[in-house]
Structure 1
Amino acid sequence: MADASGLELVEQALGHRFSDRTLLEQGLTHASAEAGYSYERLEFLGDRVLGLVVAGLLLARFPDEDEGEIGRRFSALVQADTLSEIGGQLGLADHVRAASGVVNDSILADVVEALIAAIFEDAGMDVAAEFVRRHWELRIDAVTAPPQDPKTALQEWSQARARGLPSYHDIGREGPDHAPRFTVEVHVDGAEPVQATGASKRAAERDAAAIMLSMLDPESHG
């Protein structure tokens, strides 16, 4: 069982006092802790709650944008990088229970989703939605134009220059099951391959695409 004072600190950070603290404990517990429970089911639910609230906020905030533009905004706002950043700002890493004691960005992102679900289960949709609004509205307003995913941007750059589609290749996987690191290599015709490592294959591919695009960008303006 987690330390009561630690749980109280998390409640203060979240701005919600739980009626059922077992939900909070579950939301902070990784499967590797072998506690008999983990945040995985809550994470599944939290992903859906977050998605619903963010989608509603975006549709209300940008009534003139089409589905594709809203979709790009949505993807950037619910990606693991955004979630882990929020988890870091809330100071959650010090309170997550994991076997290694090391909480990477992927775990931190999962915990944020799990805690959104924990709030939802404890107090209902209105309270969970208010939590999401507090931590996402400024991010929504900060981006004036719909962002573009690096993989999409690289694909468009490559196709516009008749270089075909970029290809991504798995290079390796390291680390324990609860904190893996994936290395991916991206290939574009006429360019040297680029590798990147991330907490998920998707993150590694995105970072590799961003690096490749930054290398090719001077050529695109040439």
Structure 2
Amino acid sequence: MKNLSELEKNINYTFKDRKFLHLAMTHSSSSKKSKNNERLEFLGDRVLALVIAKLIYDLYEDDDEGDLAHRLSFLVSKDSLYSVAKLISLDDFVISNEKKLNISILADACEALIASVYLDGGIKSSEALIRYLWSQLLRGVKEPPKHIKSRLQEWALRNQLKEPSYELIRTNGPPHSPIFTVSIHVDGFSKITAQGKSIKNAEQNVAKKFMDSLNEGS
């Protein structure tokens, strides 16, 4: 693992108390006894959503509520978090016993990083961080990205199929950070399941998983 001062350079922020950064980079697999970044993930998720919501509210004055919601969903998604994590080489700094740092681990670490800056420097520092790290993603979205569930519904209609249905299978994890497992049913296809930090997030993930399976089979 590289020195955390290198990560500070990557994110253009110097911590007053580096304990927040160290905790943000500590995955739950590193030790069962020591603290990990799960609580920071929870906080970072909310800070990111608030800051991005305000940024797109100011940037896209002609967007209605639905357009803004689609932009927000895209910009705070695991895919966007993962792309930011790779941009700053976050995989070089995460403390983990996992053999491979997958998308979920790096996306969660990115949320924890945002929370660590918020706790260390306040909302203005975390807003500056998000502006800096999300600048390419914000510039790259000229039109509101279409919600993955909407795209799937349009695909089903084009293929004369019933509207896809979603079902909550189970809920796991601690009360402060539950994980929801949802299945999707599309006529003529096997059921697929996926997880998320909310039911809405899980439905989006399972819809994406289904669409990805279509692309792989084409």
Q: TM-score range by the shorter chain?
A: 0.7 to 0.9
Q: State the shift of 1:208 in Å.
A: 1.4
Match runs of 1:1-222 below 5 Å: 6-34=3-31, 36-159=34-157, 163-167=161-165, 187-189=185-187, 191-193=188-190, 202-212=204-214
Q: Say if 1:105 and 1:199, in contact at 8 Å, map to a contact too.
A: no
Per-residue deviation, residues 53-90 of structure 1 (Å, max 9, x unmatched): 10011011111111001000100000001001110110
Distance 1:69 1:214, change over 3 A: farther
Residue 207 of structure 1 aligns with an amino acid whose one-letter code is K
Query: Aligned-pair distance for 1:199?
Result: 9.2
How far did residue 185 of structure 1 move?
Answer: 7.7
Listed as ranges, the gaps of 5+ residues in structure 1 are 171-182, 217-222
In structure 2, C-alpha distance between the alignment counterparts of 1:215 and 1:162, rounded to whole Å: 19
CA distance in 2, matches of 1:155, 1:87: 31
Q: Note the alpha carbon deviations across 1:199-222, whole angstroms, 9 max, x for none.
A: 995535313124437979xxxxxx
Cα contact 1:42–1:113 (8 A) shared by 2: yes
Gap change, CA 1:199 and 1:46, over 3 Å in 2: closer
Q: Deviations over 1:106-139 (max 9, x none)?
A: 0100111111111111111111101101122331
One-letter amino acid matched to 1:206: K
The question of whether the paired residues in 2 share the 8 Å contact of 1:186 and 1:205 is answered with: yes
Contact 1:185 1:205 in 2 (8 A): no
Q: Secondary structure at the match of 2:145?
A: coil
Task: Please tell me the residue identity of whatever aligns with 1:114.
Answer: A
Contact 1:106-1:199 at 8 Å conserved across structures: no
Which letter does structure 1 place at the counterpart of 2:98? S
What's the offset of the Cα at 1:167? 4.0
Give the whole-Å Cα distance in 1 for the aligned partners of 2:156 and 2:127. Answer: 40
Aligned AA (2:148): P
Could you tell me which runs of 5 or more consecutive residues in structure 2 were left unpaired when the two chains were aligned: 169-180
Structure number with bigger Rg: 1
Between the aligned residues of both structures, percent identity stands at: 34
Give the distance between the partners of 1:106 and 1:118, measured in 2 at CA.
18
After TM superposition, give the deviation of residue 141 of structure 1 in Å. Answer: 2.2
RMSD: 3.1
* AA aligned opposite 1:24: L
Aligned partners of 1:9, 1:203: CA distance in 2, in Å? 33
Paired residue total: 201
CA contact (8 A) 2:11 2:133 kept: no
Provide closer, same or farther for how the CA distance between residues 114 and 74 of structure 1 changes in structure 2, counting only shifts above 3 A: same
Write the distance in 1 (CA, Å) between the matches of 2:134 and 2:76: 9
Compared CA separation, residues 15 and 69, structure 1 to 2 (3 A):
same
CA distance in 1 between counterparts of 2:101 and 2:36 reads: 14
